[in-house]
Structure 1
Amino acid sequence: MRKSSFLLPVIVLAIAAALSSIFIVDEREKALVLRFGQIIQVREEPGLGFKVPVLDEVVRYEDRILSLETPTIEVTPADDRRLEVDAFVLYRITDVVQFRQAVSFGGLREAEAQLANILDGQIRAVLGSEGVTSNTILSPERGRLMEDIRVQADARAAALGLDVVEVRLRQTNLPAQNFDATLQRMIAERDREATDERARGREAASRVTALADRTFDEIIAEATRDARIIEGEADAERNRIFAEAYTRDAEFFEFYRSLEAYEQALQGQNSTMVMSPDSEFFNYLKSDQGANAQ
């Protein structure tokens, strides 16, 4: 009876010791086994692990992607138009040993404080670099700037055992005290750009008008030249026909020319002509009897 009562506590202690020496690593986490603050075991795969009861301590870290929102900071791009920017970053712990050595007992809170400082510096460096204006930050090139921030922040976060997965600039606003001045400057810049565009438009219109006028003059000159050539050819053909007609029948030619003269001289309904009866103009209007009597 005494023996059984003595063995029961021993068995219970043994079971408790065995259970306390076993730990489980979830698939969403990584674990370190510490003995007196020193890392003696790294567990990055899910499953069962073993440790020395009482002496060893299991410290667990998230293996999932974590998020961090940075406080609003004020940046000054190359055009001296100050902006208020806040960012959203996704990161994960990739090296738990490096992470433990970097933050020690501070844990995730200390890591996020250091990561926020890193992001603050990189956001200021990238958005304040040469050639980056407020218009660039607000344009589709914003994606390239965010990637530059991520790459530079990731290089510095590696010392913390972290991997920066993505950086997003959420809000980009003008400080309240600078809003009116910035708005007026933007209006002035747009007016200047509009004036330049109108000047370039007028210059282009002048070039087009000058080219059109020159082309018009060239076309008119060519048409006039062709018309004169055609008129000259027609006159030559007319003279040839007249000459040929004259050589065939001189009397008929004279008669025809007289009729043309009558037509030209007696145009209109009230034409009046006073001439001597014996004028040669009436040669072909006289009858044979009248001619004989004369």
Structure 2
Amino acid sequence: MIKIVFALFFVGCLGSSGQSSGQFYSSNACTCDQLSYESDCTKMGLQCTWNGTSCSTLDCNLITDATACAANLKCMWTPNSSGGSSCKTFTFCSQLTGATQVACLQMSNNCPFTDGTKCGSSNQLHSCSHLTASQYCEGYISQDGICMWRDSTGCTAATECAPLTLAECNSAKYGCKYTNNVCSQQLCSDYTTQQTCTFVMETINKGVYQLCSWDSTAGKCQIAQNYGGLGQGNCYSTTLGTARWVSTSAGGECLSCYAQTLFVFIIALFIIMI
């Protein structure tokens, strides 16, 4: 459960751009039609298709993978008449049934809520303080972030690294580090090689990331002031699919997609960590 919980820290709840400061937000995920290069289009997995000149969203009925279907906000993975399941055009969360949030999310990323039977949208989520027992609190996905239970404070949202246990801290990849028996914020300066100097999660419950850049002269990793250090080969991947490479008269530029989609889960990480 802990690994599931912290994979879901990649929930994005913000919709603004941080390009000028070197920040990016998981809520600004690129859509297929924003991608101009085949290499970026294919990195979207089974959500997009490349026709030789442009990238477009794959029709829901052509998606045969449950994970890719659920991750595509235009689609939902539902039972069909033959007794199996298939990918269909998304309509309403209430048409989906799931006893847990995980079950609902595995059918559609639009639907992180459940009343124990029917799934629901993000605006139906409870706040952490609404939950009064540890079995309902621990790992609950709320509008505030992921909930955690502490006997002294009850149910609260995990908003910073300091109060996290060892297991929780180690699972909050790119956001927290555990050293000297203390969980603390991961920093760009903690990376010691150019290969690992990519980004850190700046706010663990809001999907806010900070790009890092390698200073070859000083031999250290530092905060990136903008997207200028990213090229065509790593613009999309280094920003977790929130920016794309755009051709310009000067050669090209890495630009944020500004999709502003609420509750976009990086579903591949979510499934891997279950």
Q: Which has the higher helix share?
A: 1
**Superposed pair shares fold, TM > 0.5:** no
Task: Report the structure number with the largest CA radius of gyration.
Answer: 1
Which structure shows the higher strand fraction?
Answer: 2
Q: How high is the TM-score relative to the length of structure 2? A: 0.20
